[in-house]
Amino acid sequence: MKRLLGYFKNYRLRAVLAPLFKMLEASSELLVPLVMAAIIDKGINNNDKPYIYKMGVLLLALGVIGLVCSITAQYFSARVAMSIGKELRYDLFKHIETLSYTEIDEVGASTLVTRMTSDINQVQTGINMFLRLFMRSPFIVFGATIMAFTVDAHAALVFLITLPVLFLIVFGIMFISIPLYKKVQQKLDRVTLKTRENLSGVRVVRAFNQEKHEMTEFGEVTNELTKGQIFVGRINSFLNPLTYVVINLSIAVLIWKGSERVDGGFIMQGSVYALVNYMSQILIELVKLANLIITETKAVACAKRVSDVFDMESSQVYIGSEDIGNDLWNRQVTDINGNNVDKAPKVEFINTGLTYKHAKEASLEGLNLTVNKGETIGIIGGTGSGKSTLVNLIPRFYDCTEGKVLIDGVDVKDYPKEKLIDKIGVVPQKAILFSGSIEDNIRWGKQDASGQEIEHALITAQAMPFVKEKEGGISYKLSRGAKNLSGGQKQRLTIARALVKKPEILILDDSTSALDYATDAALRMAIKENIKDSTVFIVSQRASSIMYADKIVVLDDGRVAGLGTHDELLSSCEVYREIYNSQNKEES
């Protein structure tokens, strides 16, 4: 929470001016009953029209002053709230970008989206309402009580009885409601998760005709949210009836006591009106204060959820470029960039293993693999055998929990992030493209890529034929998620995006699954011819895609079941032989 409070430092003046102008507005409101009492007692009783007009002008002036102060306070509070919300949202997004896959997997994308949108919006509302009402409402409540005693202390004793009862009702209901609001917010997370799943998987839902099933499940989570909100609403519904009963009874007692004081000649009729008016002001402000505290409680809960994300630290620590000063690193960098570069394997796995956080079993274990510069490594195995896990260790998407992964003889954990990423080009399983032109998406691989480099990458990725057919060529605009492209076209563009940087290590993580066999073969041939010095890792479900690799790694349940060439594995590895024979049968 201290981190969030620090955002106020740039808006101190506005944060002070907002409640200050609200206090001025409240002061003008507290004077209105006294003016009305004077109009009744002096103007109406004496039929003094000039006095009534004069007091009427004063009432109008108080109204204008209150309006100006209210608008000014609203302006300052809104500016502070929106500005802090903007900075908070940006910093949270920036922080999330620093988290590793482990933390993002643990928290969940839907929860992070909720905290960046709904929770920060609630924090903005809380700041706005706090600056506007937190000083005003207590000031009106206690100010009205004090003003009532200045009118008539004897009749105002009713206020001393009414206020504790009202506080008990308002804050009692509030303390019951606050924990329930927190549960409602958690149920909102589930609704957000379900909505996100359906929107991202809408094609799959329709392909399998599961609309009714998904609507049923969505109905269940929304019903839970609705029931929670209704339950809290029912409890809060007691607020108005109970407070109005207390206030109306108090007003009746005030009128009764006031009439006695008027008959006794202690006060005049206008004073009774003023006392009743102050009692009504107290009611309105107490209800506002209760709603404000509920809003602030929700805002604090949301701020805590946002703060929890800020408090998360990445499990992966990168050394900075300024840290490349120790002798060991200097020697290794010289090896990498100097004459001895070919002596160390390009990539080496030494007894490498990975157990995902909270997982009971290892997803990969006991991997020993040496890959030399320029080699092509095929990785194959059944679903869940650890293929993607293996290649994700190279760019440090995840850190191995056992053993080491070395690039050019240096542990990947000893690389600055920029240097590590510069060496590697990754094409993930799911083809992700962003709204914008084809050229913009390709430049993600290399910002300063020339037109010739982009064209060469598209040709190598077998994407140039369909790009030329698009209106504007590489300037063709892609929709969000590239919905205006086919699956195969998206995969070829993601491959071109990785190729344009001419990486030392190229990872194709089952990224040709949507391509036909002829295009797949042409792509592999073009990669071999055009980036000869690159070390290539190909993850595939197809034996035909990796059968010409220099080495093939066969994985089975996280362990290496076979390692060798295609011919060697056919004769020595039963798992590989089963995969190959089953696919050949299907193809025949």
Domain chopping of the chain, boundaries: 86-311, 328-587
Average pLDDT over residues 27-47: 88
Give the phi and the psi of residue 580 in degrees, each rounded to 5. Answer: -65, -45
Q: Is residue 587 very low, low, confident or very high in pLDDT (cuts 50, 70, 90)?
A: very low
pLDDT tens, residue by residue, 281-292:
887 887 788 778
Distance (Å, rounded) from C-alpha 562 to C-alpha 554?
A: 5
Of 61-65, 187-191, 338-342, 408-412, the range with the lowest mean pLDDT is: 338-342
Whether residue 353 has pLDDT greater than 80: yes
pTM over 0.75: no
Whose tokens are 């000014």? That residue is 72
Task: Give the DSSP H or E segment for 335.
Answer: helix 327-337
Whether residue 327 has pLDDT greater than 50: no
Average pLDDT over residues 172-183: 79
Among the listed residues 114, 87, 116, 128, the one whose alpha carbon sits nearest the alpha carbon of residue 296: 128
Domain 86-311, CATH? 1.20.1560.10
For residues 257 and 154, the answer to whether their CB atoms sit within 8 Å is yes
pLDDT confidence of residue 89: 93
Q: pLDDT averaged over the chain?
A: 86
Which residue type is seen at 85? G
For residues 123 and 328, the answer to whether their CB atoms sit within 8 Å is no
Whether residue 332 has pLDDT greater than 50: no
The most confident of 166-175, 189-198, 259-268, 569-578, by mean pLDDT: 569-578
pLDDT confidence of residue 325: 45
| Token pair belonging to 121 | 């919006």
Task: Tell me the CATH architecture of domain 328-587.
Answer: 3-Layer(aba) Sandwich (3.40)
pLDDT confidence of residue 328: 43
Q: Is residue 508 very low, low, confident or very high in pLDDT (cuts 50, 70, 90)?
A: very high
pLDDT confidence of residue 412: 92
pLDDT confidence of residue 241: 85
pLDDT confidence of residue 322: 52
The most confident of 175-184, 239-248, 557-566, by mean pLDDT: 557-566
pLDDT tens, residue by residue, 205-219:
888 888 898 999 999
pLDDT confidence of residue 1: 65
Average pLDDT over residues 477-490: 88
Helix 49-98, helix 120-133: angle, nearest 10: 150
The most confident of 153-157, 392-396, 540-544, by mean pLDDT: 392-396
State the Cα angle at 104 between 100 and 107, rounded to 5°.
Answer: 140
Average pLDDT over residues 176-201: 81
For residues 78 and 18, the answer to whether their CB atoms sit within 8 Å is no
Q: Is residue 323 very low, low, confident or very high in pLDDT (cuts 50, 70, 90)?
A: low
Of 57-61, 330-334, 516-520, the range with the lowest mean pLDDT is: 330-334
Distance (Å, rounded) from C-alpha 164 to C-alpha 561?
A: 76
**Full DSSP string of 435-504:** SEEHHHHHTTT-TT--HHHHHHHHHHTT-HHHHHHSTTGGGPEE-GGGTTS-HHHHHHHHHHHHHTT--S
